[in-house]
């Protein structure tokens, strides 16, 4: 349970929800611009066409944030690493850098993202609560309670409703209820729809006018408008913060009512009666709930004009407003990306070295829960994610076992015999390692570093001068000497969950381990060939990256246990620079590999881009 909570932390939730919701701010403006342009071009078309445009735009508004959240949650995305490494340039330059994020607006929003997501969740909760209360109110109205005084009226008009229902081709059961609580006809329900009619209409309108209103409500039922309205309200609740969804919602409501009016007139032939009924409803200044489909909805004056004298919609200047907003939005986005970025003073110097400042924190979304990436030469940290938290490190512990073994300057060709107490952990692929087998200390070192043999690590600890306790004491002394305060080791293999370290400590450890030529050679070997018990054995590395093209790895160690997850430490060379990468606690092997490849590709791509773009000629150049 704790692991699940840790994996799906609030920080991760804010990233998954927050960035797509913020992206929708400009995406929504662009959708509005396109929709407004299409609506203005189709103002002479049927309302069905305009309704389709508005509905499609609303659907796109719902899908874009959803797709963004899925992508944000399912795969890592580099955010600012490329911009950071664009500071790299010709080796003869000395660079003094004032860092700015690759997108100024995003850099300002990032610190308040958790607050914005919390605010959004609160708003959604309020909106959904409001809609739920409305649904409960309408459901109560749809009950048969309070119908005793209007049985005769119900019977007569129910027959009229059935006749109209037949004309519309509606096969679902439709109930007609008369209510004193409402002042306008409305429709509720999808599969068992109910038409609610105000009792006041019986004395205030002619039968022909009431029949026209009934036809209007049946048109909504035929088109399943109530279901569409519910989905529309859901989108408006989730994206309540964006005016575009409300603008599109008003267009959908208006065109929906025009379509129902047209269908009602086609079914009854009573255009004048429907217009008079709508005018009467308008004069009564009725107030109604938005969750139901009411006959007086939309722009009543426009509807009456369309019923009595159908014609194209007149051009209005407001139609161009969303297009203008979309253009302005694009200009602002482009200007933000042009203006933001690293601003550096480059001064040509005769010395071959250079100094450059990198941001304190670069963001790459990784599957691994604890990450550290640093430049080995300068120690500059390019990426850290919960890097100071001590967690189980599994077989990465063997790197320390190897270091103190080499420090002791023991006879590496000394013949040693495996014992039963060396048989610990998984022996998958290493079944030849059995009690009594004669091996050299060098072979044990190779077995521990390449195929990551637990038996070999245990045997090295047992045969260390003074035994395993002495080896652990030597490891702890080394940790203290290296200043690795977040690292603790209890046994030489890594089986114990008490063998713990942080990504930051392991990155520092890798810098020191790179000073051992034997560790570099063995840990980065794709395979080893050993003669054991008179047989030649070929054993491959536990890190498949050393066998893959595109990698130049000079030091590596993998690790896995239930407590530690999938772990990886490596030293790799990209563009003549050595980088240390530490990945801890990934759920799956493929996730760990994806993280490593993401970091490698981001580094190599950014460096290549920076080197090709940076041409320094003269005494000083200002780069914007």
> Annotated active-site positions, please?
395, 398, 452
SS3 letters across 293-359? EECCCCCHHHHHHHHHCCCCCCCCHHHHHHHHHHHHHHHHHHHHHHHCCCEEEEEECCCCCCCCCCC
User: CA of 483: how far to CAs of 76, 396, 478, 491, 509, in Å?
Assistant: 32, 18, 8, 20, 10
Place of tokens 């981001």: 602
DSSP tag of 223: T
Smallest CA-to-CA distance from 419 within 372, 464, 366, 458 is with 458
DSSP codes joined into one string, 532-596: ETTEEEEEE-S-GGGGSTT--EEEEEEEEETTTEEEEEEEEEETTEEEEEEEEEESSHHHHHHHH
DSSP tag of 609: H
User: Token pair for residue 100?
Assistant: 């700015």
Q: Sort 385 into a burial class: Cβ within 10 Å, 0-12 / 13-18 / 19+.
A: buried
* Cβ 237 vs Cβ 316: under 8 Å: no
Residue 375's H or E segment, with its range, is strand 370-375
What is the number of alpha carbons within 13 Å of residue 451 lying toward its C-beta? Answer: 23
What's the rounded Cα separation, in Å, for the pair 585 and 567? 6
What's the rounded Cα separation, in Å, for the pair 178 and 141? 10
Q: Convert 117-127 to b/e letters by CB count within 10 Å (16 or more is b).
A: beebeeeeeeb
DSSP, collapsed to helix, strand or coil, labels residue 172 as coil
User: CA of 582: how far to CAs of 357, 389, 557, in Å?
Assistant: 22, 13, 10
DSSP tag of 388: T
What's the rounded Cα separation, in Å, for the pair 125 and 127? 6
What's the rounded Cα separation, in Å, for the pair 187 and 193? 7
What residues contact 464, with CB distance under 8 A and at least 6 apart?
404, 405, 408, 410, 470, 471, 474
What separation, in Å, do the N-terminal and C-terminal C-alpha atoms of the chain show?
48
Place of tokens 């200007």: 335
> Angle 15-231-258 (CA atoms, 0-180°, nearest 5)?
135
Instruction: Enumerate the β-bridge partners of residue 175.
Output: 194
DSSP codes joined into one string, 394-444: GGGHHHHHHHHHHHTT--TT-EEE--GGG--S--TT-TT--TT-EEEHHHH
What's the rounded Cα separation, in Å, for the pair 274 and 265? 8
Q: Is 577 annotated as a binding residue?
A: no
Q: Convert 551-566 to b/e letters by CB count within 10 Å (16 or more is b).
A: bebbbbbbbbbebbbb
**Residue numbers belonging to the annotated binding site for substrate:** 557
């Amino acid at each position: 349970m704790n692991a699940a909570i840790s994996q799906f932390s609030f920080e991760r939730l804010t990233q998954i929800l927050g960035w797509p919701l913020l992206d929708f701010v400009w995406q929504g403006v662009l959708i509005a611009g396109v929709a407004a342009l299409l609506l203005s071009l189709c103002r002479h078309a049927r309302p069905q066409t305009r309704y389709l445009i508005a509905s499609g735009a609303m659907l796109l508004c719902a899908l874009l944030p959803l797709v963004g959240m899925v992508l944000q949650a399912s795969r890592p995305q580099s955010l600012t690493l490329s911009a950071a490494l664009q500071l790299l340039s010709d080796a003869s330059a000395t660079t003094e850098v004032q860092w700015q994020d690759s997108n100024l607006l995003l850099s300002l929003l990032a610190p308040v993202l958790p607050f914005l997501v919390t605010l959004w969740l609160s708003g959604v909760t309020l909106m959904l609560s409001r809609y739920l209360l409305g649904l409960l109110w309408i459901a109560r109205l749809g009950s048969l309670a309070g119908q005793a005084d209007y049985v005769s009226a119900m019977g007569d008009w129910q027959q009229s409703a059935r006749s109209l229902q037949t004309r519309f081709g509606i096969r679902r059961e439709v109930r007609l209820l008369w209510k004193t609580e409402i002042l306008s006809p409305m429709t509720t329900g999808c599969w068992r729809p109910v038409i609610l009619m105000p009792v006041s209409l019986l004395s205030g309108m002619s039968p022909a006018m009431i029949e026209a209103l009934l036809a209007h409500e049946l048109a909504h039922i035929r088109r399943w408008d109530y279901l569409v309205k519910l989905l529309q309200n859901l989108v408006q609740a989730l994206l309540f913060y964006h005016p575009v969804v409300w603008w599109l919602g008003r267009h959908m409501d208006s065109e929906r009512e025009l379509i129902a009016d047209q269908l009602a007139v086609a079914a009854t032939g009573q255009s004048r009666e429907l217009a008079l009924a709508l005018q009467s409803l308008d004069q009564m200044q009725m107030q109604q709930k938005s969750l139901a489909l009411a006959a007086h909805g939309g722009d009543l004056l426009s509807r009456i004009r369309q019923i009595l004298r159908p014609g194209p919609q007149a051009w209005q200047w407001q139609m161009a407003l969303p297009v203008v907003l979309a253009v302005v939005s694009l200009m602002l986005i482009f200007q933000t990306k042009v203006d933001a970025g690293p601003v550096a003073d480059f001064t040509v110097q005769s010395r071959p070295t250079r100094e450059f400042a990198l941001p304190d924190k670069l963001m790459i979304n990784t599957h691994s829960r604890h990450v550290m990436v640093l430049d080995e030469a300068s120690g500059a940290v390019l990426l850290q994610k919960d890097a100071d938290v001590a967690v189980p490190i599994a077989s990465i512990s063997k790197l320390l076992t190897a270091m103190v073994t080499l420090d002791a300057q023991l006879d590496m060709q000394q013949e040693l015999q495996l014992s039963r107490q060396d048989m610990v952990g998984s022996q998958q692929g290493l079944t030849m390692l059995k009690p009594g087998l004669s091996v050299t200390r060098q072979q044990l070192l190779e077995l521990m570093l390449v195929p990551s043999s637990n038996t070999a690590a245990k045997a090295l600890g047992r045969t260390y001068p003074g035994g395993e306790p002495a080896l652990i004491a030597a490891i702890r002394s080394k940790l203290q000497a290296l200043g690795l305060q977040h690292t603790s080791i209890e046994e030489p293999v890594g089986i114990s969950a008490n063998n713990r370290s942080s990504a930051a400590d392991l990155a520092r450890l890798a810098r020191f381990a790179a000073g051992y030529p034997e560790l570099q050679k063995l840990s980065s070997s794709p395979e080893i060939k050993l003669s054991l018990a008179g047989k030649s054995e070929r054993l491959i590395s536990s890190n498949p990256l050393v066998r893959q093209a595109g990698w130049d790895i000079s030091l590596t160690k993998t690790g896995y246990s239930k407590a530690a997850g999938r772990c990886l430490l490596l030293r790799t060379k990209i563009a003549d620079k050595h980088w240390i990468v530490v990945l801890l606690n990934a759920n799956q092997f493929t996730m760990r590999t994806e993280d490593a490849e993401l970091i490698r590709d981001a580094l190599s791509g950014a460096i290549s881009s920076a080197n090709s773009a940076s041409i320094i000629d003269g005494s000083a150049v200002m780069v914007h």
